[in-house]
Amino acid sequence: MAPLDPSSPPAPGAAEPVVLLEGVRRRFARVEALRSLDLRVEQGTVTVLLGPNGAGKTTAIRVITGALGVHGGTVRVFGLDPDHKTDGQSVRRRCGVVSAKPALYDRLSGFDNLRYAAELYGMGWTDATKERVVEAATRFGIQGSLDAQVGGYSTGMKTRLALSRSVLHEPDLLLFDEPTSGLDPESSQAVLHLIKDMAADGTTVVMCTHLLLEAEGLAEQVVVMEAGADIASGPPDDLIRRYWPDDSVRLGVEDPAMLDGLVALPGVRRLTPVEGAAGEVDVDLDHLGRVPEIVLALTTRGARLTKVAPHERSLEELYFAVRRPHLATGDAPEGGGLAPVAPPPDVLAAAPVPAPQPAEEASV
């Protein structure tokens, strides 16, 4: 891929992306953490990096702030090179990061941890800064424990303090690496709400997770990573439409035998049995207008219907659909993957029509 020319002006009317990675490569000794990562993050959006352990998500975050240099490709953040001595400082000053581990100083109090960050990020130490520290802590419900040593905090409290620290200097770009790990459901919910709020205020968010439910409804762009490269990226709805261009309806019948021959009906593209629900199938159709005909055909045969509902694909289904070819070819890194929720082989085998290949133009 040709490197970017930072001196060339953006196309008229096109806003410069906050983060732009092109063909980025990064290795550690002989291990290639990033093989060829492309990423474009627009201002005020929430981008979620999905992928198994070892996919390169954390390395991508580190490359964005310039904490790690790259071995190839181009990185631009706010139009600057984060690996450059002075530009890097400017970039990092505008970034707020929460890493997978909270990265707090256990021997210091919560207050001193925030003070350290405030001063390193050039906020100085004035009455206004002190107020800002308390405000950031209050935002995450940790203000009552600021005087205690962080070593005595619970995992959830540490995560909240790390989140407070990340927003302390009101960054333009938030980089969250598994921000809800160790949090209880209420706190996780609060964090996800905060991410939405900040994005609504114009802050750009890039978040790594392997919790697909967390990303659902939050991501304006998802990037599925595998072995150091992006294998699919775009808005979730677009990606779902790429992988499942057909409308889909979920049907349930009392007697599963009644579903035999359903695939031969006009407009029916594919049947996929629903895991763990005998007698239920997802029926892919050329359009939803076919549903009355299918219902009529089934009832005419004497089938007793238990369910007829439009089927909306989830991010989880998308994720596995995107990764399936890579898992099949063994491209996935050793130990990677989200095995606990992977669809069982019989579901995949039941699909009479192979999954459509993603359209080339939808890829970033």
Partner 1 sequence: MDFKRVRIVVRTELKQLAQAKDFWFPMVILGSLFFVVIPTVLFLTITQIGDVQVVDKVSRAIDVLPPSTQAAIPDASPAGRTAYALAVFLLAPVAIVVPLTISTAVGAASLVGERERGTGEFLAHSPAAAREIYLGKVIASIIPGYLTTFVGFGAYSLIVNLLVGPEVGGWFFPTGQWWVMVLWVLPPFLAITLSIVLRLSARVKSTAAAQQASGLVTLPLIGIAYGQATGSLFGAATIGTIMGGLAWIVALISLSRGMQKVQRSRLLGVADGI
In the complex, the residues that contact partner 1 under the rule CB under 8 A are 27-29, 31, 62, 65-69, 71, 85, 89-90, 92-93, 95, 97, 99, 101-108, 112, 116-117, 119-122, 149, 165, 175
**Shortest spacing between CB 56 and partner 1, in angstroms:** 12
**Shortest spacing between CB 103 and partner 1, in angstroms:** 4
**Shortest spacing between CB 87 and partner 1, in angstroms:** 11
**Shortest spacing between CB 102 and partner 1, in angstroms:** 7
**Shortest spacing between CB 112 and partner 1, in angstroms:** 7
Q: Which is nearer to partner 1, 86 or 329 (CB)?
A: 86
Under 8 Å CB-to-CB from 199, ≥6 apart: which residues?
44, 45, 46, 205, 220
**Shortest spacing between CB 67 and partner 1, in angstroms:** 4
**Shortest spacing between CB 117 and partner 1, in angstroms:** 7
Q: Which is nearer to partner 1, 102 or 228 (CB)?
A: 102
Q: Which is nearer to partner 1, 117 or 157 (CB)?
A: 117
